[in-house]
Amino acid sequence: MNTITVTQLYEQLTEHMGKDTAENLCSYVNSKISEELEDQTKILATKQDVATLTSDIHDLRLATKQDVSALKSDIHDLSLATKQDVAALKSDIHDLSLATKQDVAALKSDIHDLSLATKQDVSALKSDIHDLRLTTKADVEALRLAAKQDIAALKSDLNEFKLDTKAEFAAVRAETKSEMANLKFELLVKMSKYQVGTMRWMFIFWVGQVAVTVSLFMLFLKK
């Protein structure tokens, strides 16, 4: 069978059907050929993908079997380790329980001893408070007596001070009166002397005035 190209087909159809019809028919044939080629390519690609997928599934099955075997081995090892850990944990819990019981017993003993010591301390504190009260009462009484004595001594000193003050005031008054009397006497003497001198000057002044007046009068008569 001879192969015909698209160009030859176009020329032959142009001779029989016309240019437009030949061109449309050639375009249709080209599109159909392209679609057929794409379908064939997809079919080939799909077969290759299926083969690849089958191989991958086979490999995955083998890997999954190996992983399952490894997982089973890990689970077995983990189970053994878990059993050992549980046994060790039970042993630790048992030891902890024993230690806790011993700690609780020791704590109870400490609390009992502390309670006894606290009671003794409270008793000693009560005794100390009682002794302190007695001592305080004695100190207060002694302080009261000392205060009374101090007050009595202070009153006595105050009375003596009052008496001394009165005597001093009396002496000061006497001295003041004596000094005032002396001052008055001196003042009177000075005033007497001053009056005598004043009278002398006044006499001299009046004598001078009389002499002047007489002289003027005699002078007037002579004229």
Reported as a single tens digit per residue, the pLDDT across 61-97 is: 776 667 657 766 766 676 676 678 767 878 887 888 7
* Cα-based distances in Å from 113 to 35, 107, 120, 149: 103, 10, 11, 53
* Cα-based distances in Å from 123 to 30, 111, 126, 129, 183: 122, 18, 5, 10, 86
Estimate the share of the chain in helix, then strand, then coil, as percent rounded to the nearest 5.
Answer: 95, 0, 5
What pLDDT sits at residue 114?
82
What pLDDT sits at residue 75?
62
- Cβ(22)–Cβ(10) below 8 Å: yes
Evaluated on CA atoms 56, 62, 65, 67, the torsion sign reads negative
- Cβ(51)–Cβ(43) below 8 Å: no
Q: What is the pLDDT of residues 8-20, one digit of tens each?
A: 666 666 677 676 7
Write out the two tokens for 217. 């009068």
Q: Is the pLDDT of residue 157 over 80?
A: yes
Query: What is the value of pTM for the model shown?
Result: 0.25
What pLDDT sits at residue 32?
76
Angle 65-67-69 from CA coordinates, rounded to 5°: 70
Q: Which residues contact 29 (CB under 8 A, 6 or more apart)?
A: 6, 9
Write out the two tokens for 161. 């001070």
- Percent of the chain residues topping a pLDDT of 70: 76
